[in-house]
Each structure stands twice: as structure tokens, then as C-alpha cells.
Structure 1
Amino acid sequence: MSESPKLVCVGNLTVDEAVSPRGERVESIGGDALFAALGATVVRGNPTILAPLGTDAPVALLGALRVAGTDPESLPLRDLPMVRNVIRYDDAGGRVWDLVLGEEHFEALSVHPTDVSDDVLSASGVLLSAMALHAQLDLAAWLRTRTAATIYFDPQEDYLAGHVADVLDAVAACDVFLPSEVEAAALAQTADLHAAAATFLALGPQAVVIKLADAGCLVASSVDPEPVLIAADVIEPVDSTGAGDAFCGAFAAEHLRSGDVHAAARAGAGVARIAISGPGVSALLTAVTSVGGVPR
């Protein structure tokens, strides 16, 4: 069997502390690049990670990187501590994120063009997960003129206010746009997600996938512009952190392999279901190391 197309998962690596409504605190490893690469690995993709490491990276994170197909020594090293988040959950399942070391530190621990090697530029696909705003937007524009890779773009809800035009420029520079429902509505300035998908397709992407959490996703493409709902099996979530990132990694891996956006969406939904079934990256790590993987 030939090797799957190479996918580079670009983003951040983090150390997260979850605080329950009762005040219980649990530290775990995370980061969108790790969740995405594990998601791609579950569906037998061929991912590698591009994300800076800080000087205090936990041993557990280094081990998870290896499981996800990346040698930690190959990653950019910053002379700074890791990105740390405190995530406070409420009784209704809502959560509030606190970036402990601030935005400037987050920007420094994001990926910049100087971190991108020729090996990355020669990959079949590049998934740009949500980093600091300017880092992600600058990288999207920089990559578009330097690689023939399929570029997958996953934005961040928190930075959209005041930056809609800039983010839409990045949408125009990508091949597959992967917003959440909230992000799609904010960027297209409409609650009509079918209209939002049409707006994004008109900017130039080959496909638009609007993530709808436990309702699945809407998929539209330049070949089939009428959005199709890909439903997801509903389960009681243990931890929803990283589910969208895992979805995007699995989607990109399957899309690169088959070119089928609907099959890719089903793969993403299956991996997201796994991701939310355990705390942090634990369920994904278990799935990667199991024999069965995830059905496609």
C-alpha cells in the first residue's frame, strides 16, 4: 500500500488546566496542532506537526508528539515557556479560556514564515489551525505564493471582531475553509449558513465545511455548491476541547487521499466523536495506538 499524502498540521502546542464547576483542577497537554495531527493519524493519514516548543514542554507532550508522527527535536524551539491556558467550565457545559501568559507570548509561540522549511512547502497539504491572529493571516498569504499544497484554513472565533476583512482575505487564499457555525455567521454576516457557504465559495476556495458541533457539518464545494448536511452520531461528551481541531486533521487527511469532501467530512465527524469521549488528547491517543482505528 502506498503512503498517504503528507499533511503538515500548523498551529500551537499548549499545556491546559481545566477547572470544573466545583473547582477541581486537572492539567493536560494540548494544542490545535497536536489534536489535528492525532485526528489525521487516527484515519491513517500521514501528518507531521509544525508548531514551536517552549523550554518547559512536559514529557507527556513530547511522547504524544511522537505518537502523532513528529520528532520533537524537529520542531522550532523558542527560549520561552510553553503556552498555558486555564479553561473554566460551568454547570451548563460552557467554558471560558484564559491565556495565562498573554497575547504577545502567544504570538511568539505561533508559527511564522521563518519556521517553514522546504520540506513543509513540498507537502501535499497544509492545515493552518488557529494561532495568534497576525501569525495565521500572514502565514496564509505567505504560503499561497510559495507552495502547491492544498491549504486548509481553520479560523479562531475569538479574533474575528474587527478583523473580518483580513480573515476573508485569508479565506480567499485557501483551498478548503473550515469555520465553525459561529465563525461562518460572523464572517458572512448572516445566520443563513447556506448563504454563508456561497459567500465563501465565491472568494475562491474549492470547498467550504461549516462545523456544527454535535449536529455534524455542512459541506459545499465548487463542484457541488449546494450545501449537504453530514450528520454526526451524538454521544455525551466528556471533554469537547480539541474536537474541532481533530475533525479538521481527519478531514484534511482523508480529503488529500480521496479528493472526496463528503467522505472527508464523515471521517472528521468520526474522529471528533472519539476526541470528545475522553479528557484532553487521551481518547485520540488510545485510538491511534489501537488496531481498529476509526471507520470511514
Structure 2
Amino acid sequence: MTDASLLCVGNLTVDDLVVDGATTTALGGDALFAALAGRRVLDDVRMLAPVGTDVPATLLQAVAGAGVTIEATRPRSEPTVRNRVTYAADGTRVWDLLSGEDAFDLMSVYPEDVAPAALDVDGVLVSAMSLRSQLTLGPWLWDRVTRAERATTVYLDLQEDYVVGNERALLALVATCDVFLPSEVEAVTLAGTTDPALAAERFRDAGADVVVVKTAERGCVVATADGVETVPTEAVVPVDSTGAGDAFCGAFAAAHVAGADPVEAARVGAAAARVAIGGHGVAALLAERGITMPLVGAGEAR
């Protein structure tokens, strides 16, 4: 552990996980996966994600118990984005979004959600949210951190669902981060090539100093001023692949902001992703902090 600090910005969700007919209600969302993974590396990890009216207090207490500081945002008068995830015996899953896309945007982060003190950190990871929120938040955040006295590294992840048709705006968004962390699907679609290494170089040309293209079980491709390197990973059979990329990004950002070079940070990210996929939802990452994912009664959760 070091005294470096990381702020994980993104969405928080309430997820009903249905396994063998039993339902566990737990928090999810990219900001939480990233923050819990970041805690594997740093003591000071903070999460900034809007909290809706229906989030059970026991779940927020579990996050705090894991050592993640929850930063305040604008109050929301709407319920949190809710999913039902049903797992089959063969490990496959079916996602049902119980909230609409409008709810996803309402529960995304905008500049007015970010208190000035929240940016007094060494690194800010912006995870995938609604397209509108990311296109609004990215330039605003970049302007704030580049004008601040404290050097803050900005890490950016995207959402593959909105890449097609928005390539020009998203390439401009890449210029508002120091480290770009797309998935392979996002990278090749946005860069217009099937080669992740070439895509990574194009994103460096667009303005990012470091680019890490996540290629799932094959590891990742890391591009810096020194060149492009493929970093392999150990393939494991996942219990649940939900949040693997978010966990990678959180642990990568934490290691990198603590002083690791991008290749070593990628290895740390891959290790966190392997832990994340070892349980349903955030269960495995919470278990590392000595916390069993709480069960919540129907009356409290809804």
C-alpha cells in the first residue's frame, strides 16, 4: 500500500442475482467493481456514483466496510438502476434491465455532482456511464485537473454500446485523459481496425499518453511512448464475468498512480479481474475484504 489516492467515478446499481432459484440483492455497477479492485492496491480509494432512493443501507455499509469512501453527489429523487441477473447451471446468464435507459443517464455523473474537494486525489478513473454524461464530464474534468496545482492522472473507460455512430465525439474524448482503457470491441470499432495494437497507437495519436486495450482472456495490449507490448494473462474459468473489465481498470489505475509502470500495472489489473470473476457480482472482491455479500429482504430492497 502507498499513500496515493484514487477516485472511481461511474454508476452504482442494485442487482438481484438469481442463482439456483435463490435471489441475493447486492450492489453492482462499474464504479463499485473498480473501487473494490483498487482497494487491493491502495488504502485511499473513493467512489463517486449517484445513489438512488432505494439503495438499502446494509449494502452501502458493506461498501464502507470494505474501506471505500463514498463521495456525496447531488441528491437523486429516483430509484437506482436495477438489474435482475439469472444464472444457469452452465454458467451462462440472462440480464434483465428493470430500469430504462433514462434511469441510467439520471444515475450517471455530471459536473454538478463533483465537489471540488473530491478531485483532491492523485488519480481519477472515469468508468462507462451514459454517453451524454461522459461527453459532458470528460472535458470539464480535464479542464479542472489540468488547471489544478496538484497533478492528477485521468483514466478513461468507455461503454461499447454507444461507440457506433459516435466515433468522432469519442475520439475527441480520448484527448481528455492521460490513460485510455478500452475493451477490444470498443478499440477496434472506434479506431476502425481489427488490430488492437494499431488501434492503441491511433488512440495515442488522439492524445492519450498510455493506452491499454483489454483483450479478455488473452490479456491486454499496452501502448506507451516506448512502443507497444502485449501482456498475457492467466486464463481461468469464470464463475461470473460481470465486472472483470471494471476491476481491471480499477486495479490498473491504483497500481499506476502508486508508481507502477503501465506493463506492471496491467498485470495487477489482470490479477484483480481474475478475483472478480471468481464469484457472482462483487461477492469475490468483497470476500477479500472479509465481507460476505449481504442478503436483503424484499421489503427493504424494493
Q: Same fold (TM over 0.5)?
A: yes
SS in 2 for 1:229: strand
Deviation, 1:214, is: 1.5
Aligned length: 286
- 1:10 counterpart residue number: 9
- 1:266 counterpart residue number: 267
- 1:59 counterpart residue number: 57
Listed one character per residue, the Cα deviations across residues 190-233 of structure 1 (whole Å, up to 9, x for unaligned) are 111111111101011110001111111111112x222x121111
Deviation, 1:189, is: 1.1
- 1:211 and 1:153 map into 2 onto residues whose CA distance is 13
Listed one character per residue, the Cα deviations across residues 81-129 of structure 1 (whole Å, up to 9, x for unaligned) are 1111233557875655443221111111111100111112222111000
Listed one character per residue, the Cα deviations across residues 133-178 of structure 1 (whole Å, up to 9, x for unaligned) are 1101210111111114211000001111211111111111111000
Stretch moving more, 70-79 or 241-250? 70-79
- 2:66 and 2:155 map into 1 onto residues whose CA distance is 19
SS in 1 for 2:145: coil
Listed one character per residue, the Cα deviations across residues 261-291 of structure 1 (whole Å, up to 9, x for unaligned) are 011101000110110111111111122349x
TM-score by length of 1: 0.89
Listed one character per residue, the Cα deviations across residues 238-274 of structure 1 (whole Å, up to 9, x for unaligned) are 1111111111010000000114101110100011011
- 2:153 counterpart residue number: 150
8 Å contact kept, 1:9–1:49: yes
SS in 2 for 1:155: coil
- 2:67 and 2:75 map into 1 onto residues whose CA distance is 18
Q: Does 1:225 align with 2:227?
A: yes
Aligned-residue identity in percent: 50
Letter in 2 for 1:230: V
Deviation, 1:55, is: 1.0
Listed one character per residue, the Cα deviations across residues 42-62 of structure 1 (whole Å, up to 9, x for unaligned) are 123521000110111123421
- 2:97 counterpart residue number: 99
SS in 2 for 1:144: helix
- 1:166 counterpart residue number: 169
- 2:56 and 2:196 map into 1 onto residues whose CA distance is 40
8 Å contact kept, 2:156–2:179: yes
Letter in 2 for 1:214: E
Distance 1:117 1:90, change over 3 A: same
Distance 1:58 1:171, change over 3 A: same
- 1:132 and 1:91 map into 2 onto residues whose CA distance is 32
- 2:41 and 2:93 map into 1 onto residues whose CA distance is 29
Structure 2 unpaired stretches of 5+: 147-151, 292-302
Q: Does 1:189 align with 2:192?
A: yes
TM-score by length of 2: 0.87
- CA root-mean-square deviation: 2.2
